[in-house]
Chains A and B, each alone.
Chain A
């Protein structure tokens, strides 16, 4: 690329000098940095390629060596580097250059929290609660064991009092997540799992206090704190899973502009942040940048790539007077535009609004755990009431004994196992997906994914790669190949990049006077003769012989006075697409394509994949309408898409997936994001989701079996604190052990991701198939 920077810069009048570019980049960097109390700047850089200790140490060493840098800390888990630097002592660009020199890709993270806060406050609070509950549970258990093993009455009384002293503050501190959530549910006149949990904990605590103060022999302190400890584990795992997914999604490359270069009235260039752009301002968009807001081109010609915005796969030429949407990628030439909107009114903002409307529909989904709670909680409370009344009747009004029996029922039925049944399975499932490059943003996505009836795909960037690839070439002479590679390497146009990839970039041939002519192609001089690579009609001006089918070619190459070589490119299918569609159809889902691209292009892909339901040339709203129509027929939709235009559809579908290459808005709207290239991620995630559903059902069944044994015992008054402690731990352990089986259950073998086979084998799939009982296949699951 170094060969052409200088030339292309001088080629258009709109390009700026090197110093101006540097100054603007510096301003851009400062704009995304946080100013600390002592006037230093903190910049968070996302470095996705950081993989090992070697990377950490080379990055930290290189950056700390700069005089302006005070502190640098690389975080391997979140793939971010936090740099604290002094803007008075030197430029921030040196930091970026240090990373460039080491060969790491990087992007800046705007409005980032400093890396020191990657573990959110909520996670920290849960962890602290977990620690306190763990401390209390261990110590109270220690005291309880000695009581159970036969301490004399006086010692037992003392031990109960000490247990109470530990339990009360521990419950008050560590129980907050449950009490808060239960209170919110009750004030909204709903019941969730936290209501019976909170009630059981508080009653157990209250009863224990009453018992130990009155010198009684039974106290449930250990049961109540242990309950809290187990449930907090479930809660924390669930939180960690979401946090991890959020961090990973954050660290994918950013695709929206964070600001733009403002052209002042006097021609002075300034970098301004996205939110400061106002309609009517003149902005300069350089090649390789995305348009920050909607606008009208006033000067310059360029090719633009709308694939993320509208789904059109072929690039287009824009000329002065034409309109461009925010989010479009500028490919070849610098252009000036007049902003016609600000950031909150642009095309992108409109998409965001449509997504919010769509999401309101989905929030009606009730998680399986809460659905269970709506039956479970009333049943448990009713049982306790029946026990109380029954005991009153049998014992002729001994209300104290009756109350104890009723509380014992509440404690023993407390959904300890139920509280773990769902999160443990989700966390193991999410980890399994993560190992295969799939990020799960929310546990309930598993539940929704197995309900899907129709898989709806976007075309550009989802079923296809979204970038053109060389299909075949005609009349290319071998001696020209290195020249073509060299010339193509000078442009960022996707077609040129595809050619450069095909013909290799290691060429050493000497070219001079390289010019990129936006809308046409790229030209240069070699050995005194002009060569051109670009649109066939433009290249034909040079060529000695033109074949009649020249216009059908995507692009062409010619040397002055010599015959023309032609290249045919198309948007190739994403890796694994055929297999993925076949697997999805086999597992009983219908398939459908919704695309914004032209009918012919969509039909070609649909025929190739054997998908018959095809809708082309849809607007973002059209996609949402089609999904709505499917949902009105009672079908649950799985939407897979990547573009900005897919974002509202992703948000409105029952469940959605996006590739890692998707637009940011698309990624934020999707429940699952897959980072490997292969589309096999879709059937793989679906298969894992079906397994989680099965395991969760088994866990619920186990918990119910446990209750069927424990509840009659409690109602009959046979439950002592010792039995409660044993029964509750045993049921939790059984549920967790059952959930662990997800690590070995094999999804449908054919969906193994080709590029990750070694990882799958490492987790023991192949070895464990015989050892672990395999869950019945799909037909059984769908019943």
Chain B
């Protein structure tokens, strides 16, 4: 029982971390242009495009 007190918060915390990361990626516009993102990796930018 006692180890659960540590393990459950860890499990929930990791899940929440994933959720926060997803929400951040959504907010920062990473889902705006999925085709473009796939192609941009091939552009070797001397200067950042953005």
A interface, CB within 8 angstroms of B: 52-53, 56-57, 60, 64, 71, 73-78, 115-116, 118-119, 124, 127-128, 131-132, 135, 138-139, 142-143, 154-155, 158, 162, 166
Contacts and interface: CB of A to CB of B under 8 A. Distances in A.
B49 interface: yes
Given A154-B1, A155-B4, A132 B43 contact: no
Contacts of A56: 36, 39-40, 43, 49
B48 to A, nearest CB: 10
A65 B2 CA distance: 63
Given A139-B15, A155-B4, A57 B32 contact: no
Given A76-B36, A138-B15, 4 more contacts: A52-B39, A53-B42, A131-B23, A139-B11
Contacts of A118: 32-33
Contacts of A162: 8, 12
B33 A53 contact: no
B35 A77 contact: yes
A456 B18 CA distance: 53
Given A118-B32, A155-B4, A57 B11 contact: no
Contacts of A53: 39-43
A135 B35 CA distance: 26
A135 B23 CA distance: 12
Given A53-B40, A139-B15, A115 B32 contact: yes
B39 A124 contact: no
Contacts of A119: 31-32
Nearest to B49: A60
A139 B12 contact: yes
Contacts of B43: 53, 56-57
B33 A75 contact: yes
Main secondary structure of the interface of A (DSSP, over half): helix
B21 to A, nearest CB: 10
Nearest to A52: B39
Nearest to B39: A53
6 contacts: A53-B43, A57-B43, A73-B49, A77-B33, A124-B26, A127-B26
Contact of A76 (B12, B26, B35): B35
Nearest to A127: B26
A164 to B, nearest CB: 13
B14 to A, nearest CB: 9
Given A116-B29, A155-B1, A77 B15 contact: no
Interface of B: 1, 4, 8, 11-12, 15-16, 18-19, 22-23, 26, 29, 31-36, 39-43, 45, 47, 49-50
Given A53-B42, A155-B1, A74 B18 contact: no
A132 B15 CA distance: 10
Nearest to B42: A53
B17 to A, nearest CB: 10
B20 to A, nearest CB: 10
Given A56-B39, A76-B39, A154-B1, A127 B31 contact: yes
A53 B33 CA distance: 12
Contacts of A128: 23, 26
Contacts of B8: 143, 162
Nearest to B12: A139
Given A53-B39, A60-B49, A115-B32, A135 B16 contact: yes
Please provide the 3 A-B residue pairs with the shortest distance between their CB atoms, ordered closest to farther: A53-B39, A76-B36, A76-B35
Nearest to B18: A135
Most chain-A CB neighbours within 10 Å: which of B1, B29, B33, B50?
Answer: B33
Nearest to B44: A57
A544 to B, nearest CB: 60
A135 B15 contact: yes
B50 A71 contact: yes
Contacts of B36: 56, 74-77
Nearest to A50: B36
A710 B8 CA distance: 33
Contacts of A57: 43, 45, 49
A128 B26 CA distance: 8
Contacts of B19: 131-132, 135
A115 B22 CA distance: 21
A113 to B, nearest CB: 12
Most chain-B CB neighbours within 10 Å: which of A53, A115, A127, A158?
Answer: A53
B23 A116 contact: no
A53 B37 CA distance: 9
B4 A75 contact: no
Nearest to A154: B1
A677 B46 CA distance: 40
Contacts of A139: 11-12, 15
Contacts of A115: 32
B2 to A, nearest CB: 12
Contacts of B23: 128, 131
Most chain-B CB neighbours within 10 Å: which of A74, A135, A138?
Answer: A135
A297 B49 CA distance: 49
Contacts of B18: 135
B1 to A, nearest CB: 7
Contacts of A78: 33
Contacts of B4: 155, 158
Contacts of B15: 135, 138-139
B26 A73 contact: no
Contacts of B31: 119, 127
Most chain-B CB neighbours within 10 Å: which of A71, A77, A155?
Answer: A77
